[in-house]
């Protein structure tokens, strides 16, 4: 669909593919194309799971520093809104999203992976937030999504030092969820995504929203978010199908309605 970002759909799984040689640097054009791809897969009722993939060599090595280097405060005050909005759009896809991480996922690349629900990494993958080494801080969600995922102390370690972590350490601290041989990353992501195909898509969207919105609130507010989402699902065909199948000891065939 775009010059650097494409969407491929097969077996109800959409792959958002980054392809900007050499390192998938996330310049303004990539950000705009990524936001458009995100809207497309979120709105497509045939898509039940999404993979974000940068190819066999690299996930994304970050934003394009050459593009940012000459920006003023006024420039960045405007551009940073666009940057965050693009990543937030990925995080808000109402379907299970898996980042298939090969090679480097640094800076903006790591922040993009953080927007997924799950992360599969190759054994030689390197992740990190090296912005501090440039005299700046993460600006596409790293200071917010990273501590929510791995805890504040571990997040500060990565953000304050700018160091890269290998796949094994990333797995041990919860930054990635699975580590597989490099050549199996996309296949592993596909297999994981396939487990959501045929599922109750309305309930999956509700579950994702309840978890994500609940993490932003106090417990009482989170429980109210859950209660409202839970109750609303009783108006869906899928809830009736699922509970009827359970009582009849049959396999539910959900319709997504």
Give the Cα separation of 51 and 167 in Å (integer). Answer: 19
Q: What angle do CA 104, 108, 114 make, to 5 degrees?
A: 85
pLDDT digits (tens, 9 = 90+) for 79-96: 888 889 999 999 999 999
pLDDT digits (tens, 9 = 90+) for 20-37: 999 999 998 999 999 999
Domain spans, the chain: 5-194, 201-247
CB 48 within 8 A of CB 197: yes
pLDDT digits (tens, 9 = 90+) for 101-131: 999 999 999 999 999 999 999 999 999 999 9
Per DSSP, the residues of 83-101 read: HHHHHHHHHT-SS-EEEEE
- pLDDT at site 86: 92
Partners of 51 in the β-ladder: 15, 98
Partners of 5 in the β-ladder: 18
Q: How far is CA 118 from CA 96, 112, 236, 245, in A?
A: 8, 12, 27, 29
Catalytic residue among 131, 169, 183, 248: 131
* Peptide linkage before 170 cis (omega within 30 of 0): no
- pLDDT at site 77: 86
CATH superfamily entry for domain 5-194: 2-enoyl-CoA Hydratase; Chain A, domain 1 (3.90.226.10)
CB 223 within 8 A of CB 205: no
131 as an active site residue: the answer is: yes
Catalytic residue among 111, 216, 224, 248: 111
Fold of 201-247: Lyase 2-enoyl-coa Hydratase; Chain  A, domain 2 (1.10.12)
pTM, two decimal places: 0.94
């Amino acid at each position: 669909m775009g010059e650097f970002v494409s969407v491929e759909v097969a077996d109800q799984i959409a792959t958002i593919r980054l392809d900007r040689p050499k390192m998938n640097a996330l310049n303004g054009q990539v950000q705009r194309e990524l936001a458009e791809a995100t809207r497309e897969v979120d709105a497509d009722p045939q898509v039940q799971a999404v993979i974000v993939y940068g190819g066999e060599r690299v996930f994304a090595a970050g934003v394009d520093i050459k593009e940012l280097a000459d920006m003023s405060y006024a420039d960045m005050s405007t551009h940073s809104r666009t940057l965050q909005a693009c990543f937030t759009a990925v995080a808000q896809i109402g379907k299970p999203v898996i980042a298939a991480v090969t090679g480097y996922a640094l800076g903006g690349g790591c922040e993009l992976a953080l927007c997924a629900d799950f992360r599969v990494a190759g054994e030689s993958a390197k992740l990190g937030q090296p912005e501090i080494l440039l005299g700046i801080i993460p600006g596409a969600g790293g200071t917010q999504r990273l501590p929510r995922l791995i805890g504040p102390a571990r997040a500060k370690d990565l953000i304050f030092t700018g160091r890269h972590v290998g796949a094994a350490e990333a797995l041990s601290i919860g930054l990635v969820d699975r580590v597989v041989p490099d050549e199996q990353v996309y296949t592993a992501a596909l297999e994981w995504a396939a487990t959501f195909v045929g599922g109750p898509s309305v309930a999956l969207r509700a579950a994702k929203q309840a978890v994500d919105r609940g993490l932003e609130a106090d417990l009482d507010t989170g429980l109210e978010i859950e209660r409202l989402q839970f109750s609303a699902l009783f108006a869906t065909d899928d809830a009736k199908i699922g509970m009827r199948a359970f009582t009849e000891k049959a396999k539910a065939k959900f319709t997504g309605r």
